[in-house]
Structure 1
């Protein structure tokens, strides 16, 4: 008897171009989330605006369709995190997923008082030079740093300028932690809330805070609560998105124009400017130093504009046209 041919899964209707804001679950990579979203959105044209480690949870902004072209601007936005830093133990990855490399012991932990903690936090606030964690996605000679570390290579990354505009200590607790191959050890757990520029590694803040206090440190919890104009209040779990898509027939997205309003300053166009930009022509300047979203009178996202000089004249050039003339 011939077995019936298995049926391919039904392809979902393609979602409208736009953003979705996911509350990423723990244990998932950002690539895992993109894979699930491709199935939910019925398209392979899905990307994300900034990786979250598998251990981390929280806001992950994804673009669908034409909205993927806006993601590069979201990546550069500042971000908010809630985190727990464990002082007294350092790991290979600067978070709880790495192997333990040092345990400070009771004496070193006991020397960490609140005054010393606050002083060390202050030194890590503002414009600082930070050496990224060695298991970052930064490329070294064409290969990701984390891949080199996992292959047993020594990786030395260059310090870079980052901005930590907020580094608030919310709670400090003395606890006992289980460490592999070691008896339970005294540690200090510090709950913090930080606002950081793009390219800042919160794991590296934990590492550097522990080093400054002579105790070592790593992250045990990390939750991203905001990326630019998108926060947890507007985020949905993957389960909620699947339920909504099943009920409505297609995945709901944040429309392109609304996504642009959450990312850029907005410029309202007249119909003459809409037509000109549709053909890739330059228009009168916006009078702003940054990229602006140009919207038609009907609210359609037409283009992204950037002021520049051409032949001695200030003009706005389209850096991305999303509504080309037909």
Structure 2
């Protein structure tokens, strides 16, 4: 088995139901024998699916993963509401009003685009220095600011008019509460709704089809092949163009200085552009094109991974 310090990369985990994201990280710390592990986007205990986990030097990229769009498959039940907006909570209200599939489909489509969303009380959002869920557990509800979210795509996948249960797929921005979408779906339909299941099917670049169960990771650990499960750190940034530094450019990057385009092959020349930066065939940093005080543009270190 490798020494702990030799593991660097991204592990795509298929989180099981009943585990917190922290539980997953804790188990993996034992398998990899290192504390340098973090995840890139919290999943509630009831949720399953893609949880990117960052090991060793790759932990520097975790915040970037958390900020990327996510895709989900959500199961919902119409006719009831709970205090948590999902079926792990206590039922607070029921409704005898039902909905037809075309109405559900139309109501879901209306969510697409940019909008404001009110975070649920059972959430980790802080108001006045306190987590909302801490107040909710005391039976306290407080005013909290709405947050802007973006729904790129949402589609009804199934709906049984008899049981009033269905599912929808959604691709959304960071900070979107899918259970709140379910709650708001009930409101739009003139009834109530609660989420009964949630599976994250994609996190940024990483689809569920490439995720490993904890059992598969444990087998790899037992067989001494954990490293084979890790994806390279730059796999998180494949949407950005690749740039190659020459010796002089790499020296400047190491000193935190800007790099002229003549020393950064393939660099986009557009202000604000991000890029994957390599030297000697190795991913070294995430670069950003920005303006120089004296005028013109150059490549700057946005986040180093060396």
Q: 1:59 to 1:249 in 2, by over 3 A?
A: closer
152-161 or 37-46: bigger deviation: 152-161
Aligned to 2:242: 266
Aligned to 2:126: 139
Q: 1:290 to 1:49 in 2, by over 3 A?
A: farther
The Cα shift of 1:264 comes to 4.1
Q: 2:101 aligns with which of 80, 89, 114?
A: 114
Aligned to 1:18: 9
CA contact (8 A) 1:139 1:145 kept: yes
Q: 1:290 to 1:219 in 2, by over 3 A?
A: farther
Deviations, residues 32-67 of structure 1 (Å, cap 9, x unaligned): 011011111111111111100000000000111111
- In the aligned structure 2, how far is the partner of 1:67 from the partner of 1:11? 17
What SS does the aligned partner of 1:248 have? coil
25-34 or 253-262: bigger deviation: 253-262
What SS does the aligned partner of 1:44 have? coil
CA contact (8 A) 1:207 1:217 kept: yes
CA contact (8 A) 2:21 2:43 kept: yes
Aligned to 2:116: 129
- In the aligned structure 1, how far is the partner of 2:226 from the partner of 2:107? 50
Q: Does 1:154 align with 2:136?
A: no
Q: Does 1:80 align with 2:71?
A: yes
- In the aligned structure 1, how far is the partner of 2:273 from the partner of 2:138? 41
What SS does the aligned partner of 2:260 have? coil
CA contact (8 A) 2:69 2:204 kept: yes
Aligned to 1:104: 95
Q: 1:251 to 1:245 in 2, by over 3 A?
A: farther
Name stretches of at least 5 consecutive residues in structure 2 with no aligned partner.
262-266
- In the aligned structure 2, how far is the partner of 1:103 from the partner of 1:12? 56
Compute the TM-score of the two structures, normalised by the length of structure 2: 0.91
Q: 1:247 aligns with which of 223, 229, 242?
A: 223
What SS does the aligned partner of 2:190 have? coil
The Cα shift of 1:310 comes to 2.2
Q: Does 1:166 align with 2:153?
A: yes
- In the aligned structure 1, how far is the partner of 2:278 from the partner of 2:155? 38
Aligned to 1:305: 287
273-282 or 79-88: bigger deviation: 273-282
| Larger Cα-atom Rg | 1
Aligned to 2:255: 279
CA contact (8 A) 1:15 1:253 kept: no
Name stretches of at least 5 consecutive residues in structure 1 with no aligned partner.
1-9, 176-186
Q: 1:65 to 1:100 in 2, by over 3 A?
A: same
CA RMSD in angstroms, aligned pairs only: 2.0
> What does 1:14-53 correspond to in 2, within 5 Å?
14-53=5-44
> What does 1:282-297 correspond to in 2, within 5 Å?
282-284=258-260, 286=267, 287-288=269-270, 289-297=272-280
Q: 1:25 to 1:255 in 2, by over 3 A?
A: closer
- In the aligned structure 2, how far is the partner of 1:208 from the partner of 1:158? 16
Count of aligned positions: 298
> What does 1:197-216 correspond to in 2, within 5 Å?
197-216=173-192
213-222 or 259-268: bigger deviation: 259-268
Q: Does 1:63 align with 2:54?
A: yes
Compute the TM-score of the two structures, normalised by the length of structure 1: 0.85
- In the aligned structure 2, how far is the partner of 1:24 from the partner of 1:294? 31
